């Protein structure tokens, strides 16, 4: 059974939503995402807009990170595989649950 192109796009969109929200707004298991954001923030030099600043900003904005995650996950739409489908479905269900419970409110 193959998943249609449109349904795959929806799965990727929901997966991107979940991942972007998780990395930018949640602590994660053992505080791993919060720790990552803190470490990136500590490397920012006042007044400089270099790589450290860009990464710190990226991991604090779900919209910015979502764009880059979409670039990374969009090949899953065009080149399907069973393993990728399993991961996409899991992330998409989690993304739909997150969206439906209003966890995307800022």
Instruction: Give tens-digit pLDDT for 44-67.
Output: 777 778 888 888 888 889 999 999
> The pTM is what?
0.82
- Asked if the structure places residue 49 within a domain, the reply is no
- CA gap 88, 82 in Å, rounded: 10
Give the rounded percent of residues in the chain with a pLDDT score beyond 90.
47
Domain of 92 in residue numbering reads as 5-30+62-100
Specify the number of domains making up the chain.
1
CA-to-CA dists, residue 20 to 2, 64, 75, 79, 87, angstroms: 27, 8, 17, 22, 15
- Asked if the structure places residue 38 within a domain, the reply is no
- Asked if the structure places residue 35 within a domain, the reply is no
- Asked if the structure places residue 12 within a domain, the reply is yes
- CA gap 40, 6 in Å, rounded: 36
- CA gap 68, 58 in Å, rounded: 9
**pLDDT confidence of 103, banded at 50, 70, 90?**
low
- Asked if the structure places residue 44 within a domain, the reply is no
């Amino acid at each position: 059974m193959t998943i249609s192109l449109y349904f795959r796009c929806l799965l990727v969109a929901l997966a991107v939503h979940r991942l972007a929200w998780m990395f930018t707004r949640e602590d994660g298991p053992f505080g791993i995402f919060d720790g990552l954001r803190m470490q990136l923030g500590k490397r920012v030099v006042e007044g400089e807009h270099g790589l450290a600043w860009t990464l710190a900003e990226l991991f604090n904005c779900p919209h910015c990170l979502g764009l880059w995650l979409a670039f990374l996950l969009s090949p899953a739409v065009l080149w399907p595989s069973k393993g990728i489908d399993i991961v996409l479905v899991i992330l998409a269900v989690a993304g739909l649950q997150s969206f439906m419970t209003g966890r995307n409110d800022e």
